[in-house]
């Protein structure tokens, strides 16, 4: 196959299409169906706690801590993997491996049960590790396939494709869950639960099949004839230390990363717990209304996020990346305050629309802003590894604080309200970035 030129339309489309392939995990597993399925298992069993490692823990802190631990592992894996990938010059093979690990683990969620909670959580854990580990290599390709002036639009295009593709699959799964008899699954609660399990399998299949287009066209990486040895296992950590030291020579990048670290932990936490919050804190009126309402809310978020990502891209062109990020963080803070008071489905739908408007925008713009501030280097994987490790450590802190406040107070609303602090600090740190850059 002929190597595609950097900046070519076909290469850019192939890169962005991976969002179409893997975003079904973010939507179906992380945001929509799995959280509903997870809580439904507890409700059907008539319990609110489960025995883990000799102790009892509530359902929501359990999943919060499991998620946080998974991100700890991802944070430790990323430097090792990026170091090996840079050394052997083939980061695509690592991206493939974690893609398939995540996809197959999603299929494994079909067997999720409270009777085998540890094995069940392992599938959830591995799906998360697979998704986010493949994501770091995907992100690192951005400066490899596109020129700086293409970053904002391409990043927004990727997120938009992800939202569109995942919505298609979620709508299919929603119909299957609400009308399982149409698919020969029978009727009633058990049929709906089976439909949810099947939806996890569809995520794995979708992810594997559509990622092939990306894998076909993406280059392997910088060529190298080096072989993996035990010494290079820690090269990634040395590279991260090198990146950290280089920040002293790049004040703009240093201050931007500090701001990103703080506000990203709040953004990712909200996105990871939103459905659990809606499931427990909103008065839906019945189980069917709850399932339909929660999935509809996620669909609203996804559809509005497509518009939000594009509007954010245009706003950044007109006003600049940093001023746009400041405004978006302010909106996020307001959303958290609003969420503390909402109780009705309509209020939840409106809040979901607001989340969608800023969710895609802040993710796409954060990624492209970072790529713009990078120094001229071929070692993009190390810099994006640093970016992803910062994001994952932030998620660990955010989810741990969220879970702790939830567990201690017994009220998820207090946890949501506390996240306002992170957005305010994020705004302050963004305002410290030199404007002449």
Instruction: Tell me, letter by letter, the H, E, C secondary structure of 377-426.
Output: CCCHHHHHHHHHHHHHHHHHHHHHHHHHHHHHHCCHHHHHHHCHHHHHHH
CATH superfamily ID and name for 9-220+240-431 = MFS general substrate transporter like domains (1.20.1250.20)
Task: Report d(CA 120, CA 111) in Å as an integer.
Answer: 7
How high is the mean pLDDT of the chain? 85
First-to-last alpha carbon distance for the chain, in angstroms, is: 40
**143 alpha-carbon distance from chain centroid:** 20
> pLDDT (tens digit, 9 = 90+) per residue, 94-141?
899 999 999 999 999 999 998 888 899 999 999 999 998 898 788 778
At residue 21, the pLDDT reads 95
Hunting for tokens 């392992």 — which residue is that?
122
At residue 14, the pLDDT reads 92
> pLDDT (tens digit, 9 = 90+) per residue, 341-354?
999 999 999 998 99
Across 34-51, average pLDDT: 85
**112 alpha-carbon distance from chain centroid:** 21
Q: Which of 151, 427, 406 is nearest to 281 (CA)?
A: 406
User: Residue 317 pLDDT > 90, yes or no?
Assistant: no
Q: Please, what's the b/e burial string for 190-219 (b: 16 or more CB within 10 A of its CB; e: otherwise)?
A: ebbbbbbbbbbebbbebbbebbeebeebbb
Q: Which of 312, 269, 17 is nearest to 162 (CA)?
A: 17
Task: Report d(CA 65, CA 355) in Å as an integer.
Answer: 24
Q: Which of 337, 368, 367 is nearest to 266 (CA)?
A: 337
pLDDT band for 1, please (50, 70, 90 cuts).
low
Q: How many CA atoms lie within 13 A of 299 on its CB side?
A: 15
Task: Report d(CA 335, CA 354) in Å as an integer.
Answer: 7
At residue 437, the pLDDT reads 44
Encoded tokens for 171: 């709508």
Across 232-242, average pLDDT: 73
At residue 204, the pLDDT reads 97
Contact indicator for 211, 21 with CB cutoff of 8 Å: yes
> For the chain, how big is the Rg over CA atoms in Å?
21
Across 155-175, average pLDDT: 86
Cβ atoms within 10 Å, residue 184: 7
Across 236-257, average pLDDT: 81
Contact indicator for 85, 94 with CB cutoff of 8 Å: yes
More confident residue, 287 or 41: 41
> pLDDT (tens digit, 9 = 90+) per residue, 318-366?
888 899 999 999 999 999 999 999 999 999 999 989 988 888 788 878 8
User: Residue 253 pLDDT > 70, yes or no?
Assistant: yes
> pLDDT (tens digit, 9 = 90+) per residue, 296-309?
888 888 788 878 87
């Amino acid at each position: 196959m002929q190597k595609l030129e950097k900046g070519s339309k076909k290469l850019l489309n192939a890169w962005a299409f991976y969002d179409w392939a893997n975003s079904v995990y973010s939507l179906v597993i992380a945001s929509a169906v799995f959280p509903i399925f997870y809580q439904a298992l507890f409700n059907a069993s008539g319990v609110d706690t489960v025995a883990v490692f000799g102790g009892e823990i509530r359902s929501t802190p359990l999943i919060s801590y499991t998620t946080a631990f998974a991100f700890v592992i991802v944070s430790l894996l990323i430097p090792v993997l990026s170091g090996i990938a840079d050394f052997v010059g083939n980061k695509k093979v690592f991206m493939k491996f974690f893609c398939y690990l995540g996809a197959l683990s999603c299929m494994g969620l079909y067997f999720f049960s409270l009777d085998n909670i540890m094995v069940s959580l392992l599938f959830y854990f591995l799906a998360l590790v697979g998704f986010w580990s493949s994501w770091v290599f995907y992100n690192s390709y951005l400066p490899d396939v596109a020129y700086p002036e293409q970053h904002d639009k391409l990043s927004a295009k990727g997120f938009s494709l992800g939202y569109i593709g995942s919505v298609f699959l979620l709508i299919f799964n929603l119909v299957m869950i609400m009308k399982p008899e149409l698919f020969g699954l029978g009727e009633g609660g058990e049929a709906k639960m089976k439909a949810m399990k099947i939806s996890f399998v569809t995520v794995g299949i979708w992810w594997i099949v559509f990622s092939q287009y990306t894998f076909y066209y993406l280059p392997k990486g910088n060529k190298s004839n080096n072989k993996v040895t035990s010494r290079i296992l820690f090269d990634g950590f040395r590279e991260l230390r090198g990146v950290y030291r280089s920040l002293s020579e790049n004040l703009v990048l240093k201050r931007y990363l500090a701001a990103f670290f703080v506000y990203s932990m709040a953004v990712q936490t909200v996105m990871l717990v939103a459905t659990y919050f809606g499931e427990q804190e909103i008065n839906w009126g019945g189980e069917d209304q709850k399932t339909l309402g929660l999935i509809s809310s996620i669909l609203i978020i996804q559809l509005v996020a497509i518009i939000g990502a594009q509007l954010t891209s245009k706003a950044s062109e007109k006003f600049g990346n940093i001023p746009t990020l400041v405004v978006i963080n302010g909106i996020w803070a307001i959303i958290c305050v609003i969420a503390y008071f909402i109780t009705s489905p309509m209020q939840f739908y409106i809040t979901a629309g607001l989340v969608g408007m800023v969710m895609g925008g802040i993710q796409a713009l954060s990624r492209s802003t970072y790529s713009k501030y990078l120094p001229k280097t071929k070692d993009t994987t190390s810099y994006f590894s640093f970016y992803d490790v910062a994001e994952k450590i932030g998620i660990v802190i955010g989810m741990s604080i969220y879970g702790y406040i939830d567990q201690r107070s017994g009220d998820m609303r207090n946890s949501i309200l506390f996240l306002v602090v992170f957005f305010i600090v994020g705004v302050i740190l963004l305002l410290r970035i030199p404007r002449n850059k």
